[in-house]
Amino acid sequence: MLVPVIMCGGSGTRMWPLSREHYPKQFLNLVDAETSLLQATVNRLSEQCAPAIAITNEQHRFLVAEQFRAAGYQADSIILEPEGRNTAPAVGIAAFKACQNGDDPVLLVLASDHHIADTEIFRKCVNHGQRLAEQGKLVTFGIVPSTPETGYGYIKQGNAIDELTFELDSFVEKPDLATAESYLASGQYLWNSGMFMFKASVFLAELKQFRPDIYSVCEQSCQNMQPDLDFIRLDRDIFSSCPSESIDYAVMEETSKGVTLRFDAGWCDVGSWSALWDLQSKDNDGNYARGDVIKKQTHNCYILGDKRLVTALGVDNLVIIDTDDALLVANRNSVQDIKHIVTHLQQAARPESINHRKVYRPWGSYDSVDDGPRFQVKRITVKPGERISTQMHHHRAEHWIVVTGTAKVTKNGQSELISENQSTYIPIGVKHGLENPGKVPLEMIEVQSGHYFGEDDIQRFDEIY
């Protein structure tokens, strides 16, 4: 049995402003306009794979579940880490979970934010790797390098086992350019993809041998798992005591059972806007543009317009990313440093590093359309059958206008139905709730009036999510 383990964490800071802390790149339609990177990950799994175990965090749990649902994919489980502890503990948890019923499957560990162009080659390599894993090997996928990349770690190949497989000599940290060029010229080095295959029991045995501290925490965490709707929660106190370590350091650099499988299928970790520019089809001037874009005398640019018209004139080698609340203009050669912009935003406590203007919630979304000294306007969408928790505000009143659908509004225990083109008023201090009882999305305009609109002026009475 082959069980995928999909790592759904990560913040993707180098893909800002499209990727934000609460909506990072794995949930974005970056390579394909219709499919997110996470959805592409499950779409390339073969029918022979068992349902996947997904590892994510509290903040992203509903995004993972919703994207699986939209892709028509049913995961085995979605495990919530109380806080990130790197890949070794995450995979340890997945391995214990996979063995709970006495099974001992081969685990296929995948990132949720990678692009692989050739699905057929991917599946053939997975089949090859599964045979090695069933023989007790710990397999890592080494990407055949095409350029002297300084943004990736490398794997040095040892002796050949077969045409695609080599003994694992060593892992190498991200090199400088001269070193990367020497790696490429030697033909002995592969990019470290972060993808692995091994039997669950073999990985756990190696983890117990080399990192018994991590093994012990994973074992205790799995003994104290708690189901919660579509999710499985780990005990916060137990799991948070786990050391933070990668599979590479904890196991793969120590084991004598490691092998590397050469993998050449158009892999990319989509780690920067320049990497994404490389992937896309471009016009005769070397430009890739998506959205409402007009360009003249423009060359070798990546231009993304979200809502409004974006124009470019007489520029070269730029990345231009326009969103509702932030605009990025950067030289394509400097995009690896976008993370420093994000750090600056975080230090200044600016919301643009965390959320988009449109914020997604389990029940739907809200978009902050306009605001002023004593008002704020939001567009609210509530999915069919969903509702917002009952709440009250001490510093603001609210007007709700229904645009499409039907709203069930409850004020101080009294309910009424509000249809299209109708409205209702919620004074300060009134306990209220909102539900969509219909079969279509409920679209509303909310006008808040008062002198304070912070999230801490929401007193919730029944937090249902």
Q: Is 349 left (phi over 0), alpha (psi -120 to 50) or beta?
A: left
Token pair listed for 459: 């007193």
User: How far are the Cα atoms of 374, 393, 433 from residue 429, in angstroms, in the given order?
Assistant: 17, 6, 13
3-state DSSP of the chain: CEEEEEECCCCCHHHCCCCECCECHHHCCCCECCECHHHHHHHCCCCCCCCCEEEEECCCHHHHHHHHHHCCCCCCEEEEECCCCCHHHHHHHHHHHHCCCCCCCEEEEEECCCEECCHHHHHHHHHHHHHHHHCCCEEEEEECCCCCCCCCCEEEEEEECCCCEEEEEEEECCCCHHHHHHHHHHCCEEEEEEEEEEEHHHHHHHHHHHCHHHHHHHHHHHHCCEEECCEEECCHHHHHCCCCCCHHHHHHCCCCCEEEEEECCCEECCCCHHHHHHHCCCCCCCCEEECCEEEECCECCEEEECCCCEEEECCECEEEEECCCCEEEEEHHHHHHHHHHHHHHHHCCCHHHCCCCEEEECCEEEEEEEEECCEEEEEEEECCCCEEEEEECCCEEEEEEEEECCEEEEECCEEEEECCCCEEEECCCCCEEEECCCCCCEEEEEEEEECCCCHHHCEECCCCC
Read off the pLDDT of residues 295-319 as tens digits, 9 standing for 90 and up.
Answer: 999 999 999 997 899 999 999 999 9
CATH of range 358-460; options 3.40.50.970, 1.10.287.610, 2.60.120.10, 3.40.50.10090: 2.60.120.10
Does residue 330 contact residue 313 with C-beta atoms inside 8 Å? no
Mean pLDDT lowest for which of 231-240, 244-253, 452-461? 452-461
Distance in angstroms (rounded) separating the CA atoms of residues 62 and 73: 14
Q: Residue 345: what pLDDT? A: 96
User: What pLDDT score was predicted for residue 34?
Assistant: 92
The string over 344-373, giving b where at least 16 C-beta atoms fall within 10 Å of a residue's C-beta and e elsewhere, is ebeeeeeebbbebbbbbeebbbbebeeeee
Residue range 2-268, CATH number: 3.90.550.10
Cα gap 150→147, rounded to integer Å:
9
Question: What's at 388, amino acid-wise?
Answer: I
Cβ–Cβ under 8 Å, residues 320 and 303: yes
The pLDDT-based confidence of 7 (bands split at 50, 70, 90) is: very high
Find the mean pLDDT for residues 240-245.
Answer: 95
- Structure confidence by residue, pLDDT tens digits, 184-213: 999 999 999 999 999 999 999 999 999 999
pLDDT for position 106: 98
What are the boundaries of each domain within the chain? Answer: 2-268, 275-343, 358-460
**Sheet with 459-460, edge to edge strand ranges:** 414-418, 407-411, 432-435, 387-392, 459-460
Going by pLDDT thresholds of 50, 70 and 90, the confidence category of residue 151 is: confident
Residue-level pLDDT at 56? 96
What is residue 179's predicted lDDT score, i.e. its pLDDT?
A: 95
| Cβ proximity of 385 and 436 under 8 Å | yes
| Rounded Cα–Cα distance for residues 134 and 127 (Å) | 11
C-alpha distances out from residue 212 to 89, 92, 252, Å: 11, 11, 15
What average pLDDT does range 240-255 have in this prediction? 95
Per-residue pLDDT of 34-62, as tens digits, reads: 999 999 999 999 988 999 999 999 899 99
pLDDT tens, position by position, 408-451: 999 999 999 999 999 999 999 999 999 999 999 999 999 999 99
pTM score of the predicted model: 0.91
Give the span between the Cα atoms of 54 and 66, in whole angstroms: 13
Q: How far is CA 117 from CA 100, 120, 163, in A?
A: 35, 9, 22
| pLDDT band, residue 229 (cuts 50/70/90) | confident
Q: What is the pLDDT of residue 463?
A: 72
pLDDT above 90 as % of the chain: 91
Query: In the block, which residue shows the tokens 């060593």?
Result: 170
Query: Exposed, middle or buried by CB within 10 Å (0-12, 13-18, 19+), for 301?
Result: buried
Write down the mean pLDDT value for the chain: 95
CA dist 173 and 176 (Å) reads 10
- How would residue 464 be classed by pLDDT, with cut points 50, 70 and 90? confident
How many other C-beta atoms can be found within 10 angstroms of the C-beta atom of residue 186?
Answer: 10
Q: What is the pLDDT of residues 65-100, one digit of tens each?
A: 999 999 999 999 999 999 999 999 999 999 999 999
Q: How confident is the model at residue 245 (pLDDT cuts 50, 70, 90)?
A: very high
pLDDT at res. 11? 81
Query: Cα–Cα distance between 367 and 53 in angstroms, integer?
Result: 32
Quickly count: other Cβ atoms within 10 Å of residue 462's Cβ.
9
- CA separation for the pair 433, 363 (Å, rounded): 13
